[in-house]
Amino acid sequence: MGELHVFFFPLMAQGHMIPTLDMAKLFASRGVKATIITTPLNQPVFTKTIDKYTQLGFQMEIRLLEFPAVEVGLPEDCHSVDKVPSPESLPSFFKACAMLQEPLEQILQELRPDCLVADLFFPWATKAAAKFDIPRLIFHGSSYLALCAANSLRTHKPFNDVSSDSELFTIPNLPHELKLTRLQISPEEMRKRVWEPQDKCYGEIYNSFYELERDFEEHYRNVMGIRTWSIGPLSLHNRDVEDKAQRGKKSTIDELECLKWLDSKNPHSVVYICFGSVANFAPSQLHEMAMGIEASGMDFVWVIRNKREEDNGSEKWMPEGFEERTKGKGLVIRGWAPQVLILDHEAVGAFVTHCGWNSTLEAVCAGVPMVTWPLLNDQFYNEKLATEILRIGIRVGSNEWKGSDSDGVKREAIAEAIKKVMIGEESEEMRSRAKAMKDKAKKAIEEGGSSYLDLGSLLDELRAFHAKH
């Protein structure tokens, strides 16, 4: 029987392509031929790594599909979510994605892979794979907790039982008590059904590991009855400095320069601040953030990546003299930063994060406690995992989905949360819990670990499926 051939088709967004590349490398390291499907303008995200791994003897390749941006009225170079001009154009972007079904079917027919791992945001991929009797796995790119919570909200609609937007309600039927307000859930979750469990698909793959959110994984499998495999944390498969530095876009800072700066600092003395690839703060909020970071008195690495028109990169919001006053204490990186490399450095003592799932996992893998500042999507759920269940984070007090410009987080709250995690009386305990979880993460992907075994059982099952068909 020949080796398995698996297709990987991520949503064109940094937060989806990066873990998918890690996943393809992982499958290839277990003897699978891995083909990544993407569009020409996203090819550079994958090329360097795939060339490197092919030279090492792994079977990896890229297949390209033309992206019909112009046909749906988007700019020609709009091939990824981070390039979408405004939230209003997102539906057009997804319409263009859906137009990839036919070209995908042509390539499935031509290459007949044994499995298609396609992003949650491509529900039409299940149908495409079914035409050729190819099992389709969904890659969620999110946590079990988030999916369980979203499903409960959709089923029970507890947000209808509260009288105001800021009143807390309990999300029913979960293994742990979690409370949210209406302001913290996406408008879509109130209006229509998102994250619909997709029946007819073969199962789902999670970038998580059993020890991290055991109760929610079991709830998802046993109560919701969905077949899943946990194969994470995927970021841990980047072993060397080069691998860690090359994830995603080209860093705007030389990684060695960045490491040298961190080397000059004491252990756990630096706070790292970064909000992923899609966060977009109002200038007034960025000003408060700068004031809060400075008031905390801590050394810091701050990644600023803002795309607001009214600011236009001029950074008028930056407090006067901020960079002069914090010289030596602070490193400001504009653009993309080598995040895993920074988090893994022993000088880093806390991570101010939007709680995107990739960032949350990277903090867990580095054993770094978090200051949580969720903005949208599943981030308010992931915050609960960090602060209430794992108890390795402190909330900064962000209370509103896509927080409105007027009601931002104040500098005092920012400074206080940073100090609490870095030097407060709970900080030592939080750090030791984070370190313990880091050890469990490493064990999960090693031979005999929970994620290692889960992937093994998935591959065995795909081989058996292939042998029968």
Q: Catalytic residue numbers?
A: 16, 119
Measured CA to CA, the distance from residue 301 to residue 262 in angstroms comes to 9
Measured CA to CA, the distance from residue 398 to residue 111 in angstroms comes to 48
Cis check: omega of the bond before 233, within 30 degrees of 0: yes
Is residue 427 within 8 Å of residue 391, measured between CB atoms? no
Is residue 21 within 8 Å of residue 237, measured between CB atoms? no
Output b/e per residue, 141-180; b: 16+ Cβ within 10 A.
bbbbbbbbbbbbbbeeebbeeeeeeeeebebeebbeebeb
Place of tokens 């035409």: 131
Is residue 211 within 8 Å of residue 444, measured between CB atoms? yes
Measured CA to CA, the distance from residue 208 to residue 56 in angstroms comes to 27
DSSP per-residue string spanning 181-198 = -GGGS-HHHHHS--S---
CA 31 to chain centre: 26
Place of tokens 């803002």: 306
Place of tokens 């941006």: 69
Measured CA to CA, the distance from residue 351 to residue 431 in angstroms comes to 12
